[in-house]
Structure 1
């Protein structure tokens, strides 16, 4: 039995998040173009007397350490399938913003799943791991596969996408989080009584990714949850404006927010925009990263 296993798992940005009307089960149909970006959490699992979760890094105090944590739920789900006790210590070294719309919690779930699979030598197939991911949450399967993918259904049904180049991003970390259910609730309130179109991926956006064309991608980025996030957190408009003024080609709220994402032309622009955001007083921190990044990987 291995002494411990560490898995590195990426954050994500939604290049497109198209949201349909609420379904009878309360979820929404989505067309979600995920890009994995080079900000990572590392999840380490070590045999222990019982399941416990610890966390270090920025905002670690905001991460739940009980069985509501997706990493703990991943260990429990995999153990249950293989008739073993989930007796592991899961340590999460955070570097992905917490409650920031970048799938940090989902990343930890995928990371713990892959780490426990390796630690316990369960021999689970990739399809089995993806099925457990889908049970854990809509964004968890993508955290496992990384790269770029189109997610439909509630985002968990994935088709990998071709990416023809490297895209440079800057992420502005806001103070405090935004609850995903609250943002969807606000989306429902804002769209009530209107005809919400069926979500579909933008052909122009898929082409821009495939061609590695940053300027073309900047023109077609979109997030249907952005008006709801801005309604709940109006100050995000100042962050978006600050990044755009500093030279970002496009700016949008990442997922349900409150992290904001800025597409820039190259590494030099990324540093310039990040510096401008840091001094703008509109965010707590700004981080640069490139996409696409690989999915969950044993290190």
Structure 2
């Protein structure tokens, strides 16, 4: 067995509709995902035991992995190993670029990458159907990290159906150096929207904009039900969105439950100009990226 490296993308919720909490406590979602070209790379090598270590860029200094038993990569390994009746073994190295706790599903990307990499390393030949099922157990965004592209997610977001997307979309992502608790944002949504519908409405206008490849139509259709509660908890996010649009972005939106804000731009040049204007002492790491890109995939070198 040789080392395997799998690259998995960040996601943006172009549309995030949230329904009233179900009896099990989960909120039904209607979301449109897009995978964008910010990646975590996960490399796994043969080993007699199990370990996970982390590499981060300078702008993520201070980020640490959760304890080994609590890490989503470990959970992915255990579920995949249990599915095949084997012991999870391997030495995993995670090289991060996706903002941590930023609403761009970096942890979900790592879980998806682990499933693909370990399946190759162990030679278990897991079917796509079973990988998606295991991914759904790990978290709402993990199945999409496997699929990539642009897709509609329903249920808790784990039921993924690809949609037509003919555009190349340019984004500026502005991470925050402070995380924002996803459960806290959902709780605040429940406080602000006590009469939320049982099922969120469809995102037909946004799906049509993707199919047309029109950035202005897409900008007009971007929607996030968690944006208001996120901004209410962190008012500076609203100021950041206004600033990005004033600098030339077509539209700014909170990514998922935040706190990363993303800005749709008309072109790559426009995205670089917006990123340059927004880079300052408070936001030293402003990222330019594009979508849609592939889901978790094996990387080969040479």
TM-score (norm 1): 0.96
User: Residues of 2 paired with 1:175 and 1:17: CA distance?
Assistant: 23
SS at match of 2:286: strand
CA spacing shift, 1:187–1:195, aligned 2, 3 Å? closer
Tell me if the contact between 2:220 and 2:251 (Cα under 8 Å) persists in the aligned partners: yes
Tell me if the contact between 1:34 and 1:149 (Cα under 8 Å) persists in the aligned partners: yes
Corresponding residue pairs, total: 296
Residues 48-197 of structure 1 mapped to structure 2, 5 A cutoff: 48-58=47-57, 59=60, 61-192=63-194, 194-196=195-197
CA spacing shift, 1:173–1:195, aligned 2, 3 Å? closer
Tell me if the contact between 2:19 and 2:196 (Cα under 8 Å) persists in the aligned partners: no
Question: Mind listing any 5+ residue stretches in structure 2 that lack a counterpart?
Answer: none
Query: For residue 286 of structure 1, what is the aligned residue in structure 2?
Result: 286
Query: For residue 30 of structure 2, what is the aligned residue in structure 1?
Result: 31
User: Residues of 2 paired with 1:75 and 1:95: CA distance?
Assistant: 21
User: Residues of 2 paired with 1:71 and 1:155: CA distance?
Assistant: 20
Tell me if the contact between 1:11 and 1:40 (Cα under 8 Å) persists in the aligned partners: yes
Deviates more, 1:85-94 or 1:217-226: 85-94
Question: Mind listing any 5+ residue stretches in structure 1 that lack a counterpart?
Answer: none
Query: For residue 217 of structure 2, what is the aligned residue in structure 1?
Result: 216
Tell me if the contact between 1:62 and 1:98 (Cα under 8 Å) persists in the aligned partners: no
SS at match of 1:67: helix
TM-score (norm 2): 0.95
SS at match of 2:186: helix
Q: CA deviation at 1:47?
A: 1.6
User: Residues of 1 paired with 2:181 and 2:117: CA distance?
Assistant: 28
SS at match of 1:98: coil
